[in-house]
Structure 1
Amino acid sequence: MSRTRRSTLGVVAAFLWVLASAFASAPAHAGPDTPREDGSLIMIMPPAPRETTASSSRAVAAVSPTVSPAADYVHTTSGNPVECTSGNLCAGVWDPAVGKYKVFFLYRCAQYSLSYWNGVGQAVNNQVGAAAFFYGQNGQVLDVALPENRPFTYDWTPVWSIRNC
């Protein structure tokens, strides 16, 4: 075997090892782990962040999280179920402007820029066969979410964009 071919195999093996390590240390999963008959999955938002009172100085200047290009969303409170229909990457983030979680339904294949996404929320990749990629400030891949049948808790603070296909 040539030295070049061995080096290429070594790089591929290292990449696979890093990818496997990322999934081995994946965030904790929460919520039901079986899909509904129509292929929908149910997400349950985690407890609200501690600093949610209107009297805090942060609440006065609060800005609602957004995605670009625009996507459908709903607001929900902690503990309430949100249905993620088949074909969507669903991502929930705390919205300090209204004191509820804002759950986005990323259906159209695109790279979505995130604005004002901070703290812990939920996500579930309910797409058919498409991985979703979470990117940091410099465009580096932070995480890959494979299509699964259960939501997971995720810290959105370092994520600057999501590509859902």
Structure 2
Amino acid sequence: MSGNTRRSALGVIGAVLCVLVSAFATGPAQAASDTPRKSGSYMMIMPPAPEGANSPSSLSARGVAAASPTVSPWADYVHTTSGHPVECKEGNLCAGVWDPAVGKYKVFFLFRCNLYSLSYWNGWGQAVNNQIGAAAFFYGQNGQVRDVVLPENRPFTYDWTPVWSIRNC
């Protein structure tokens, strides 16, 4: 291998390493501060409801046009209101998104290692990676990695609109 070829190969390897380091160093914005933790669990507090989400006009129109957020394959979930805590137990990637069909947040508990396709995930919600040693990957429409969330982060506010799928392992 000539000197130029070796330097070129090293340059490519260096560039790939820089991209990987920046992907893992980039964390989601707006981390929640001093979130209570309970014996291996994190308590997530959902943000305020979206602007106008509970107005009489949106409530009447909601029944006709609103679709509830889902994941495929199926995962456990709960509904909760703004400001109420939801426990994210150890081993889960927990993700909360506004559910306009019921006027509450829907929090999914992604426990099984999978690539989860998201449907009707729009606007701001919360997430926390409370898995043991597994990073979570948020993907955009074309399969590009949008964010990498390292385990045991505190809950953070996140805009789900550009996210089309999540791999929790």
Please give the TM-score of this superposition, normalised by the length of structure 1.
0.90
Does the CA contact (< 8 Å) of 1:31 and 1:44 recur in 2? no
Q: Could you say what the CA RMSD is over the residues aligned between the two structures, in angstroms?
A: 1.8
Aligned residues: 162
Residue of structure 2 in register with 1:79 after alignment = 83
Q: Aligned letter for 1:130?
A: A
**Partner of 1:159 in structure 2?**
163
Name the CA distance, whole Å, in 2 between partners of 1:31 and 1:99. 26
2:34 paired with 1:44 = no
Q: Distance in 2 between matches of 1:132 and 1:58?
A: 35
Q: Gapped runs of 5+ residues in structure 1?
A: none
Residue identity matched to 1:42 = M
Q: 1:70 aligns with which of 71, 74, 93?
A: 74
Question: What SS does the aligned partner of 2:158 have?
Answer: strand
Please tell me whether the aligned partners of residues 132 and 152 of structure 2 are also in contact (alpha carbons under 8 angstroms).
no
Q: 2: CA distance between counterparts of 1:33 and 1:80?
A: 13
Distance (Å, rounded) in 1 between the aligned partners of 2:77 and 2:56: 23
Q: Which residue of 1 aligns with 2:125?
A: 121
**Unpaired runs of 5+ in structure 2?**
none
Give the match for residue 102 of structure 1.
106
Write the distance in 1 (CA, Å) between the matches of 2:24 and 2:94: 23
Q: Which moved more, 1:57-66 or 1:46-55?
A: 57-66
Q: Deviation string for 1:17-68 (max 9, x for gaps)?
A: 5326623xx311115446322x011000000001212423752311100000
Aligned residues of 1:32 and 1:42 also touching (Cα < 8 A): no
* TM-score normalised over the length of structure 2: 0.88
Q: Is the 1:46–1:79 contact (alpha carbons within 8 Å) kept by the matching residues of 2?
A: yes
Alignment-mate amino acid for residue 103 of structure 1: V
SS at match of 1:55: helix
Identical-residue share of aligned pairs (%): 69
**1:150 equivalenced with 2:150 (yes/no):** no
Letter in 2 for 1:86: E
Are the structure 2 counterparts of residues 125 and 20 from structure 1 closer, same or farther at C-alpha, using a change threshold of 3 Å?
A: closer
Partner SS for 1:148: coil
Deviates more, 1:10-19 or 1:142-151: 10-19
Structure label with greater radius of gyration: 2
**In 1, Cα distance between equivalents of 2:120 and 2:17:** 37
Structure 1 pair 139–122 and aligned structure 2 pair: CA distance change class (3 A) = same
State the partner residue of 2:37: 35
Amino acid at match of 2:112: R
User: In the alignment, what sits opposite 1:137?
Assistant: 141
Counterpart contact for 1:40–1:126, Cα < 8 Å: yes
Do 2:94 and 2:110's aligned partners in 1 also have CA atoms closer than 8 Å?
yes
Partners of 2:168 and 2:141 lie apart in 1 by: 17
